[in-house]
């Protein structure tokens, strides 16, 4: 099936076998750094993570490897020129920060003390995204071993940000500031996943996300629900009413204008999605869930890949301790996020949400609403030659398997790179749904991690041709 | 105005003046015991509070003062027989446990280190209910000083429970077990309040309360809202939908059967309520609130005194820490309470709520619901002679002021006493709305606390006549 001689595959595999132990040792060292960008207490760890990666990229051979400051957490930039004046330029994107994680959330082992069990490496960030950034280090070395070159076949650039798990608030500014140095003919994003261990796929799109925190204030302090209850507005009730009003009986978002401009799935896109070996039982198992619920008229995959959502990520108000406390609470809080699809503008959504909330908060309740920096949705044309190069390289790594197409329901700042750099975005990810992104016991499959290395080893030569 | 000679009033006041300092010192000592019944860690403190009170009642002169065990926190029982074979028996009810309180909730001083500022005693329990239990100690001594008796004019019994703030789960069983010893011709409940410092009132009814905790379980763990959001039910959303569905657009509770049997206010009762000097601005200030909201067709006072409610006391689910976390939460929790009025049966309400919740939880969400022990509503006939005796005694303490009638929106186990002992329930409370029951910076007005002592000093003689 593959158009590459078996010898190339064997050369790459041989090289990887020789270096995999050291590669994994290094990755484990990086995963030990709790680079949680959402928690201010971990800011020094995020910096330490950036410095660790910079040193490691220099050691890998990148002649340029720098910590790039932002108004928030630092990013890492590295560059390895091809030396060939006609070589196209490829920018690899990933992130070195991770989601919050604490043992008591349900981790079987310390989230920042990586362990290998049953061919899996368990740690916060193992799949999202340190593992997937890190396969590029051994990948480019294997590419050199394969081609006999002393520099990559493309001008290879790496941008590894430190605030992705906080919504990348300073990423767009960073990209705009360094627009010239980041210039690229294509962006390769390694922060996505595949269908499964046995169905390798390439992702073609991400949803965007806009998120907000809403504070609702009622009484100045918690008050007696007997003495006052039934006669004053309860901010927890109002918070709940906001959440309940987000969706209609068809689970469609009710905020006026929310669906304006949404790029609807074509019949052929729906058919491609329907061809995937989707099994609801195993999908639910990966989701650790016991039922499906979503927008009427769409399949589960369509719902998570191609439909926008409104989700409550957190709600709190009143007494949450043991026993009861008969109060009308002083305040309540909501954390909402809106997944967005191609055609939606996060700033238009933000304005619509603000208006909608303001119109629904009754007299006697004061409110504040604050949005984080949004992430735009992103969609790559299926017929782009560079996408076909990714498919070919991946097929080599996966023993000639047919590579299918997916999207991801998650979000990344890929769209900012697309916007600012005017470059097509490709996705190269080897994570699988069971990896447990953002969840306790996050892991990466070691076999797949090495398939990522292998794909990267083939990709730079193939892309050099496709982009020329 | 009073039918008692001025000399009686003066005698009582002289006696109180002489003993107020020691009385307050004792009360402060009691308030230092953090007898929080809702928090298991404070169980030893609740016991210490019971033991402290028992010793103090013996010191006051009660020949019988005992700690009564329950399946939960201990109660205190004391008895002081009149010696007169024809004397009626009066049972005083109060509670020695208090609401949870922590400095960080907004207390200006330690809630369990009482301080006097501006004629007010600040401490958790100052008004609810230790202060109001404690005025009976000096009250009965002043009664003896007034009458020259060596024992009260009524057979005086005291029952001071230790679980009122936890919904009195074992109170009814306790009362049933000791039915014979508790036998009384009237119950005097000192766990309510007055209209204001300048409008003394007697309460004639309490709302009941039924409360529950609802746990809603979605995914086995928090899951990525990008990867799965929009396709699985979110337990925080379902919790919010339950809360939002509790009320219709007229703020009436929607649970089928909820209003069945509710004793509606008569026109004359509504007129009496309307006569009270109600000022919405100052009521809102006492409620620390910025607006009213309640059942359409009823005034604010009617809503809190005579209408049943559904209130969310606490809601929680998902990520509530700093920053954002894009998850579908694994679970959500609700603490709901339902205030009930005369004619509603809490067990009927419980069954209706269980059915209503079960019918509204979608596939894929599992739920648990647990009710605490309910408290029944309670209403005293306005024309009862014993109620008139309370009015007369209070009028003496308040310099001949007209005593008006109120109800309270709060709840107490008074109705259990009424049920089991077949005795009318009278209310003698001197707390005012600004005392901040269940709130940070709870206080009692020292002047009013002593009016409580004074009323009790007059009451036993007057009740001896009224109940004979």
Contact A294 B224 (CB under 8 A): no
- Region for B364 from its dihedrals, namely left if φ exceeds 0, alpha if ψ lies in -120 to 50, beta otherwise: left
Q: Which residue of chain B has the CA closest to A251?
A: B230
What is the structure's pLDDT at B379?
A: 86
Q: B43-60 vs B6-31: helix axis angle to the nearest 10?
A: 150
**Burial letters for B238-254: b for 16+ Cβ neighbours within 10 Å, e otherwise?**
bbbbbbbbbbeeebbbe
Mean pLDDT of B269-280: 92
Q: What is the pLDDT of residue A2?
A: 41
Which of B160, B124, B115 has its CA nearest to residue B33?
A: B124
CA neighbours closer than 13 Å in the CB half-sphere of residue B345: 8
- pLDDT for the residue A5: 59
Query: Which value does ipTM take for this structure?
Result: 0.78
Domain residue spans in chain B? 6-206+377-466, 208-262+308-371
Cβ(A428)–Cβ(A389) under 8 Å? no
In angstroms, the CA B105 to CA B440 distance is 6
Q: Min CA distance, A458 vs chain B (Å)?
A: 28
- Listed residue (A88, A51, A45) closest to A69, CA to CA: A51
The C-alpha atoms of residue A461 and residue A146 are separated, in whole angstroms, by 10
Cβ contacts (< 8 Å) between B440 and chain A: which residues?
Answer: 221-222
Interface test with A, best of B229, B304, B439 (most A CBs within 10 A): B229
**B107, B217 in Cβ contact below 8 A?**
no
What's the distance, CA B376 to chain centroid?
12
- Which chain B residues have a beta carbon less than 8 Å from that of A325? 38, 99-100, 313-314, 335, 438
- Domain at B6-206+377-466, CATH class: alpha beta
CB distance B322–A240 less than 8 Å? no
Share of chain A above pLDDT 90, in %: 87
- From chain B, the residues in CB contact with A409 under 8 A are 224, 226-230
pLDDT, tens digit, for every residue of B340-399? 998 999 999 999 999 999 999 999 999 999 999 888 888 887 888 999 999 999 999 999
Give yes or no for residue B3 having a pLDDT over 50: no
B318/A313 touch (CB, cutoff 8 Å), yes or no: yes
User: Which residues on A lie below 8 Å from B363 (Cβ)?
Assistant: 290-291, 293
Question: Over chain A, what is the mean pLDDT?
Answer: 94
User: Is residue B200 over pLDDT 60?
Assistant: yes
pLDDT digits (tens, 9 = 90+) for B102-139: 999 999 999 999 999 999 999 999 999 999 999 999 99
The vertex-A288 CA angle with A284 and A292, nearest 5°, equals 40
* Fold classification of A208-262+308-371 (topology level): Alpha-Beta Plaits (3.30.70)
Nearest 5°: the CA angle B253, B257, B263 is: 85
Residues A312, A335 contacting (CB under 8 angstroms): yes
CB atoms closer than 10 angstroms to residue B350 = 18
The residues facing B368 across adjacent strands are B215
- Burial of A338 by CB count in 10 Å (0-12 exposed, 13-18 middle, 19+ buried)? buried
Residues 6+ apart with CB under 8 A from B88: B154, B155, B185, B186, B463, B464, B467, B468
Q: What is the pLDDT of residues B220-249, one digit of tens each?
A: 999 999 989 999 999 999 999 999 999 999
Average pLDDT estimate for B7-29:
97
Using a CB-CB distance cutoff of 8 angstroms, which residues of chain A are in contact with residue B225?
Answer: 309, 311, 313, 337, 339, 438
Residue A347 — pLDDT band, cuts 50, 70, 90?
very high
Q: In this structure, are residues B413 and B171 in contact, taking their beta carbons and an 8 Å threshold?
A: yes
Pick the residue from chain A with its C-alpha nearest to B339.
A226
Give the DSSP per-residue string, B215-231: EEE-SSS-EETTTTTTT
The crossing angle, in degrees rounded to 10, of helices A130-147 and A6-31 is: 140
Percent of chain B beyond pLDDT 70? 99
Q: Looking at residue B111, what DSSP letter applies?
A: T
Q: How many Cβ atoms sit within 10 Å of the Cβ of residue A244? A: 18
Q: What is the Cα–Cα distance from A265 to B391, expressed in whole angstroms?
A: 76
Helix (H, G, I), strand (E, B) or coil at A273: helix
C-alpha–C-alpha distance, residues B245 and B408, integer Å: 27
Instruction: Say what the pLDDT of residue B315 is.
Output: 98
User: CB of B92 within 8 A of CB of B159?
Assistant: yes
Strands of A69-111, DSSP E: 75-80, 89-95
Q: Does the pLDDT at position B1 exceed 50? A: no
């Amino acid at each position: 099936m593959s158009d590459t001689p078996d010898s190339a595959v064997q050369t790459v595999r041989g090289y990887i076998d020789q270096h995999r132990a050291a590669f994994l040792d290094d990755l484990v060292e990086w995963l030990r750094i709790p680079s949680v960008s959402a928690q201010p207490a971990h800011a020094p760890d995020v910096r330490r993570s950036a410095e660790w990666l910079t040193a490691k990229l220099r050691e890998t051979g990148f002649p340029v490897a720098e910590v790039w400051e932002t108004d928030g957490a630092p990013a890492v930039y590295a560059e390895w020129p091809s030396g060939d004046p006609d070589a196209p330029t490829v920018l690899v994107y990933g992130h070195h920060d991770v989601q919050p994680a604490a043992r008591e959330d349900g981790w079987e082992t310390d989230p920042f003390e990586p362990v290998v069990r049953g061919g899996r490496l368990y740690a916060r960030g193992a799949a999202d995204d340190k593992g997937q950034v890190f396969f590029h280090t051994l990948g480019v070395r294997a590419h050199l071993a394969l081609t006999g070159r002393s520099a990559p076949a493309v001008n290879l650039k790496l941008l590894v940000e430190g605030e992705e798990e906080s919504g990348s608030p300073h990423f767009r500014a960073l990209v705009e500031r360094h627009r010239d140095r980041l210039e690229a003919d294509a962006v390769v994003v390694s922060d996505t996943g595949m269908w499964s261990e046995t169905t390798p796929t390439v992702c073609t799109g991400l949803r965007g996300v806009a998120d907000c925190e809403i504070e609702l204030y009622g009484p100045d302090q918690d008050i007696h629900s007997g003495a006052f209850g039934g006669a004053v507005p309860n901010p927890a009730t109002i918070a709940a009413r906001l959440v309940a009003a987000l969706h209609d009986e068809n689970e469609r978002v009710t905020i006026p204008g929310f669906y304006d401009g949404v790029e609807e799935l074509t019949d052929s896109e729906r058919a491609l999605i329907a061809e995937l070996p989707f099994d609801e039982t195993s999908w639910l198992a990966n989701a650790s869930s016991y039922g499906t619920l979503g927008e009427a008229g769409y399949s589960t995959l369509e719902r998570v890949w191609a439909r926008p959502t409104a989700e409550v990520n957190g709600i709190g108000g009143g007494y949450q301790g043991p026993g009861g406390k008969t109060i009308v609470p002083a305040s309540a809080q909501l954390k909402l996020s809106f997944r967005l699809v191609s055609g939606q503008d996060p700033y238009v959504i933000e304005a619509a949400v603000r208006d909608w909330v303001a119109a629904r908060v009754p007299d006697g309740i004061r409110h504040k609403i604050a949005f984080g920096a949004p992430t735009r949705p992103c969609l790559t044309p299926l017929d782009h030659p560079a996408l076909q190069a990714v498919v070919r390289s991946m097929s080599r790594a996966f023993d000639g398997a047919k590579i299918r197409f997916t999207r991801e329901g998650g979000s990344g700042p890929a769209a900012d790179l697309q916007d600012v750099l005017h470059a097509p975005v490709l996705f190269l990810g080897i994570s699988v749904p069971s990896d447990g992104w953002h969840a306790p016991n996050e892991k990466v499959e070691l076999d797949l991690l090495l398939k990522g290395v292998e794909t990267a080893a083939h990709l730079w030569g193939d892309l050099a041709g496709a982009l020329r």
